[in-house]
Amino acid sequence: MITLLIKTKRPTFKNFKEKALLNTEVKAEYDELAPLFNIKKKLVAARLSKGVTQEQIALKIGTSKSNISRLESLNNVYMPNLGTLMKCAEDLGLRLDIGSR
């Protein structure tokens, strides 16, 4: 017996996101979380550009690797401690800036 597999085009994340953001409730939640996600993305990019592991930065700022992992996770809306964010940013040569909208 020969089975033919027909390749179907799967939706991309971009298409999924565009469709999801048409929902006003989803869009409002997305917009509310955007600043936190932007901070997380910048911290990860800075850490990777300096070649520092999560464990190394955790040791430097006096926390655990799992705290850094949660802090960086885009799948986790964990609200990090402001002091931890500031220490992490400072160690990576960044400045945490809280401004107005």
Q: Domain boundaries in the chain?
A: 31-91
**What pLDDT is recorded for position 45?**
95
Give 1's pLDDT tier (boundaries 50, 70, 90). Answer: low
Terminal-to-terminal C-alpha distance of the chain: 64
Q: Which fold has domain 31-91?
A: 434 Repressor (Amino-terminal Domain) (1.10.260)
Q: What amino acid is encoded at 70 in this protein?
A: R
- Give CA–CA dist 6/65, Å, rounded: 44
- Give CA–CA dist 39/18, Å, rounded: 22
For the segment 60-69, the average pLDDT, to the nearest whole number, is 92
pLDDT value at 84 more than 70: yes
Average pLDDT, the chain: 86
**What pLDDT is recorded for position 10?**
77
- Give CA–CA dist 96/47, Å, rounded: 15
The one-character DSSP state at 51 is T
For the segment 28-49, the average pLDDT, to the nearest whole number, is 90
For the segment 34-63, the average pLDDT, to the nearest whole number, is 92
**What pLDDT is recorded for position 99?**
72
Q: Which two tokens stand for residue 4?
A: 């033919």
- Give CA–CA dist 39/34, Å, rounded: 9
